[in-house]
A = this chain, B = another copy of it.
Amino acid sequence: MSTSAVYAIILAGGGGTRLWPASRRLRPKQLLSLGGDESLLAATARRAGAVVGAENTLVVTAADQELAIRAALPGLPAANVLVEPQPRNTAAAVGLAAAAVVRRAGPEAVLAVLPADPHIADEAAFTALVRAAIAEARQAIVTIGVTPSSPETGFGYLRVGPRVGGDGSLAVFDVAAFVEKPDRPAAEAYLASGQYLWNSGMFFLTAGRMLAEARRHLPALGEALEAMVGEADFTAAVRARYAAVPAISIDHGIMEKAAGIRVIPGTFGWNDVGSWAALPAMRPADARGNVVVGQAALIDGDGSVVYAEPGAPYVGVVGARDLVVVATRDAVLVIPKNRAQDVRQIVDAARRAGRDDLL
């Protein structure tokens, strides 16, 4: 085992409307306490801190979310919140963190890049996977792939190549290909083949490798990151350079182009909380498959989600079949579970109605 430093890089700059009305621009999904009393972000930071320590846990976020993120993570050192001056997608966000880590601990330090907002039910299994991926990251870029349990069309997939290492249940494979979100028949074929994994968006690599890959595949980003590493005033360098870096995801900008990426497959109760339909996987359901959270009553319901935030009106639902009802202080959503992805249409309607306060 190398003794080089390990840093968790939590990507917490996302917006997204899929959990509206609970999620808003200034209260993004990662700040919601969907799985219990703890926000998704706080749970991610807690899991990361258990492996690398809070002092080595960095959070990258957007300028307009900084205050909310700091408030949600009171145990995090103040300097560990890295603020993007402008949103520039995840390649730049990871690059920013890599530059900060090189300045702190040198290029051999390992980055554990973690999206802020998945729900993870089996934390012990997850921690074992993270430790294995960190160890492997000293030789290669490593990702964690989720063994699929259904033909999901909302995720990217990884096609698994030859086994290259690992021991016991934690095997390490080459990644043969990154695969875009499939249609339903393709997703079913992927599931049946056993050769595909869900792309969890978690990556493990050294800070120096991140800078090198940026230089190779996104030269404008690589050059900006070198300046951020080299100049005396990090904050000033970030401010001067960040606006000009390319806005592209780390998947498309780097991972799909980099050579020799490896994957460790695992099953750890991973849920990307892509819509309200995910709630029954995160909360205990009753005998008829209903999840009721908050000041609410559900009479004669099946397979339904009723979620009333503190401060929301009391919610009474009768005879719901596979329905989602969500109430906040200022908005209510009613949508069939199988259309939960269509929340955006309501957000668009609110925008057209001039209700920017709801966005």
Whether A299 contacts B355 in the complex (CB less than 8 A), given A21-B316, A315-B334, comes out as: no
Pick from B20, B297, B349: contact of A349, CB below 8 A: B297
Binds B, one of A37-45, A72-80, A177-185, A339-347: A339-347
The answer to whether A318 and B299 have CB atoms under 8 Å apart is: no
Are B297 and A319 in contact, CB atoms less than 8 angstroms apart?
no
Q: In the complex, how many residues of chain A place their beta carbon closer than 8 angstroms to a beta carbon of chain B?
A: 38
Query: Is residue A69 within 8 Å, beta carbon to beta carbon, of the partner chain?
Result: no
Q: Interface stretch among A154-162, A202-210, A250-258, A325-333?
A: A325-333
Determine the chain B residues whose CB is within 8 A of the CB of A318 once the complex forms: 333-336, 339, 342-343, 345-346
Tell me the bound Cα distance from A333 to B299 in angstroms: 11
Copies of this subunit: 2
A295-B355, A345-B299 known; A313 vs B334 contact (CB < 8 Å): no
Assuming the contacts A313-B312, A342-B318, A346-B318, asked whether A334 and B331 have C-beta atoms less than 8 A apart, the reply is no
B334, A323: Cβ atoms under 8 Å?
A: yes
**How close is A25's CB to chain B, nearest CB, in angstroms?**
16
Residues from chain B with Cβ under 8 Å of A336 in the complex: 318-319
Digitize A1-32: 1 where CB-to-B-CB distance is under 8 Å, 0 elsewhere. 00000000000000000001100000000000
- CB-defined contacts of A20 to chain B, threshold 8 Å: 316
CA distance A160 to B292 in the complex (A): 51
Q: Does A278 contact B (CB under 8 A)?
A: no
Q: How far is the CA of A82 from the CA of B176 in the complex (A)?
A: 84
A295 and B353 contacting across the interface, CB-CB below 8 Å: yes
Instruction: Confirm or deny: A247 has a beta carbon within 8 angstroms of a beta carbon on chain B.
Output: no
Residues on the B chain within 8 Å of A331, using CB: 313-316
Report the minimal beta-carbon distance from A82 to chain B, rounded to whole angstroms: 35
Query: Top 6 closest A-B pairs, CB basis?
Result: A316-B346, A297-B349, A318-B335, A317-B334, A314-B331, A315-B332
- A binding-site residues for B, Cβ under 8 Å: 20-21, 295, 297, 299-300, 312-320, 323, 325, 327-336, 339, 342-343, 345-347, 349-350, 353, 355, 358
